[in-house]
Each structure stands twice: as structure tokens, then as C-alpha cells.
Amino acid sequence: MTRRAIVRADAARAIGSGHIRRCLTLAQRLQDAGWDIAFATIESSEELVEDLAEQSVKIVSGDPAHEAEELRALFPGGVNLLIVDHYQRDAALESACRGWAQYIMVIDDLVDRPHDADLLVDMTLGRDADAYRDLLPENTLCLTGTDYALLRPEFAERRPQALARRAQTLSVDEILISVGATDQSGIMAVLLDGLAQSGFTGRVSVIGEFSDMDNDYPFDMQMTRQAHNMPARMIAADLAIGACGVTSWERCCLGLPTVAVITADNQRDIASALSQIGAVELVRETTAQSVSRAVQRLRDDSEAWQQMSKIAADVCDGAGAERVINTLLPIIEAGEASRSQV
């Protein structure tokens, strides 16, 4: 019998695409294990995340008051697993889905609301399961820390190549800029102005949805709305300028030194943790001048660049999705075996 999992996650200009992206990674691993996967999401998700076109997608209204009923109506036969990755959902939805969903998994990193889950994954650097002690049922299994970062398998596959290249890099000739799927705050223009002020004249790859930019910069700039070859782009880059969302763990896996900026409140814990260990150069107030200084520091100090690359690479090895699957599937299989014996 084919098992079914439903992913409840959204992408929108106000929240970016990170929730959907990390769930796509998990979905692929479940599909590889023979599962049937569907995404229950709002309409804007398909526009912002092109990879959803390859998935079974059901559109929901996004109204939390009626969401459990919507899910039951869309999938009346029930599901083996409900995966919830959503900052505006909590135990109210999860408890309402009990019975319809045999198991519930939550992906979170805010530690700010109760959940009713069998398994919770929080990939924040340094996060401990004790942080959720008062927010979860006593028997919930917590997988915390960057060992469980949900990255696509090609990041782990390309990691040896990336780290070998970093060890031989002597200068910063190519920079990758990515602040997420959208740029609601207009920060991209500030980053580009800061990079220009730094005196950088090499190649720049810019990824994301952004307003028209003035192309009169002293560097060779290529703009792409969505990158389907992110591992290759990160390997080619010598330095990144980027936000501290899901992409943080991708950059770390490939040992890519980063000038980090904060574009949303939920990124502050990640940014702070990475900055404290020296895995990023954190720009706390994003101005062109502060970005320029940060870029110059790493560009002009090869020893600091190499040290940051090594520290970042130690943060995440890219095998987190495999660890999550290897924990999740035995739990479900054991539960099914137990029920069959009753």
C-alpha cells in the first residue's frame, strides 16, 4: 500500500519561499521511498516556486479557522503523514487534524507557539530540544540543530568539490547575491550600491525577484529570478552576500564565506548564531557603507576568508534530510506494525 503525505506550507512575497523549498527537499526523499506526496498551499506559491509545477498541488484558502475542514475535504481518505511548515499555524490546526492524519510532523525555528506533533524539526544552529519543552506534548521527538538541515542531495554531493576549490582560492573574483525569492524591502539596491562602493570589479550573480536595477555598476552583473543550479552557482562564487534564511545552510555546506544581512525577524537567531562562531560577517545595519566595509574586509584578508570558509563548512554537511527520513520512517513503520497486531 502506498503511503501518502500532505505538506501544508506557503510561499508569498511577504514571507518568501523558504518553507516550500525545504519541504520540497523532504518531499523528494519521501517520493524516493515510494510515498505519494501532495502540497496544500495558497495560490501564490506556484508563482513564486517554479519547482512546484512538478508536484501534486491543491490550493487552499489560507484561512486557519477552516483549514482542517479544507484538508479533510481535499483528501477524504485521510493521510499517513501531515507535514506543517508555517509560522501562522500551531497546535490548533495540528490537533484538529488528528485522526485524519496518522502522524504529524512540524518544521519550525521560532520557538514561539505550541504544537501538537509526533516529530518536530528545527534546523537552527545551536538549537536544543529543551527550547520546546513547554510547547510540545511530552512524547514528541525533537530533531534540532544543523545536522537536520533540509538540503537537496546535490549539496552534499557537490560538497567535496566545493571545499577543494575553496582551499585553492586566492582572491575574490566572483560574488553571489541572494536575499530570497522576493525583495519586498528593496534591500537589493543597497547591496549593489555597497558592492560598488567597495571597489569590486569582478563578476556578480544576482538571484531573486527584484525591481529593475540600474546596471551602471563597475562589475559584470548577471540577474536570474530563480536558480535551478544553485550548488553550481555557489561553487563558482568566492563570496556571497545574502539573507539568513534556508540558504544559510546551503552556503555553509559548500563552505562559501558570506556577508550576511537580515531581511526578516525570523532570521535573527540564525544570523546571530552564525556570526558568533565566525561563519558569516554580519551586517547589523544594512547600509551601502556597512556592506562596502564588510566586503572589503573579506576581499582584502585571504586568511580571514579561508578561516570563515572552514568554520562555515563545519556547520552543515548537507545530509540532514537523510537523517530526518531515517528517523521518521521507522517511527511510522513501527506504529503501523503495532496497529496491525491489535
The partner residues of 259 in beta bridges, in order of sequence, read 241, 281
Mean pLDDT, the chain, whole residue set: 93
Closest CA to 91 of 111, 113, 63: 113
pLDDT over 60 (residue 212): no
pLDDT over 90 (residue 277): yes
**Residue 190 shares a structural domain with residue 264:** yes
> Which residue did the predictor score with more confidence, 41 or 269?
41
If you average pLDDT over residues 298-317, what whole number do you get? 96
Residue 15 is predicted with a pLDDT of 86
C-alpha cell at 5: 503525505
Residue 66 is predicted with a pLDDT of 96
Q: 180 pLDDT band (50/70/90 cuts)? A: confident
Query: How many other β-carbons are positioned within 10 Å of the β-carbon of residue 117?
Result: 26
Domain of 272, in residue numbers? 153-315
**Residue 161 shares a structural domain with residue 92:** no
Long-range contacts of 336-342 (CB under 8 A, 24+ apart): none
**Residue 228 shares a structural domain with residue 251:** yes
Question: pTM of this prediction?
Answer: 0.94
If you average pLDDT over residues 4-23, what whole number do you get? 93
Residues recorded for the chain: 342
3-state DSSP call for residue 72?
helix
**Residue 114 shares a structural domain with residue 165:** no
Which residues 6+ apart lie within 8 Å of 337 measured at CB?
Answer: none
If you average pLDDT over residues 31-40, what whole number do you get? 97
CATH number of the domain that residue 254 is part of:
3.40.50.2000
Percent of the residues in the chain that have a pLDDT greater than 70, as a whole number: 96
C-alpha cell at 321: 534530510
- The domain tally of the chain equals 2
Task: Scan for cell 524539526, then name that residue.
Answer: 121
Closest CA to 121 of 15, 246, 17: 246
Which residues 6+ apart lie within 8 Å of 62 measured at CB?
Answer: 10, 42
Residue 249 is predicted with a pLDDT of 97
User: Rounded distance, CA 319 to CA 158, Å?
Assistant: 12
Residue 298 is predicted with a pLDDT of 95
**Residue 304 shares a structural domain with residue 186:** yes
3-state DSSP call for residue 226?
coil
**Residue 217 shares a structural domain with residue 133:** no
Model confidence pLDDT, tens digit, residues 132-172:
999 999 999 999 999 999 999 999 999 999 999 999 999 99
Encode 86-112: b = buried (16+ Cβ within 10 Å), e = exposed. Answer: beebbbebbbbbeebbbbbbbbbbeee
**Residue 175 shares a structural domain with residue 281:** yes
Residue 227 is predicted with a pLDDT of 76
**Residue 87 shares a structural domain with residue 162:** no
- For 320, what's the count of Cα atoms within 13 Å in the CB-facing half-sphere? 30
CATH number of the domain that residue 11 is part of:
3.40.50.11190
DSSP state of 221: E
Backbone phi and psi for residue 62, each to the nearest 5 degrees, phi listed first: 90, 5
**Residue 171 shares a structural domain with residue 311:** yes
Let me know: does 253 contact 313? Beta carbons within 8 Å: yes
Query: How many other β-carbons are positioned within 10 Å of the β-carbon of residue 277?
Result: 14
pLDDT over 70 (residue 22): yes
> Which residue did the predictor score with more confidence, 109 or 181?
109
Residue 335 is predicted with a pLDDT of 81
**Residue 158 shares a structural domain with residue 268:** yes
**Residue 119 shares a structural domain with residue 177:** no
Backbone phi and psi for residue 29, each to the nearest 5 degrees, phi listed first: -65, -40
**Residue 126 shares a structural domain with residue 250:** no
Let me know: does 81 contact 6? Beta carbons within 8 Å: yes
Q: Are strands 174-178 and 239-243 parallel, antiparallel or unpaired?
A: parallel
C-alpha cell at 189: 539596491
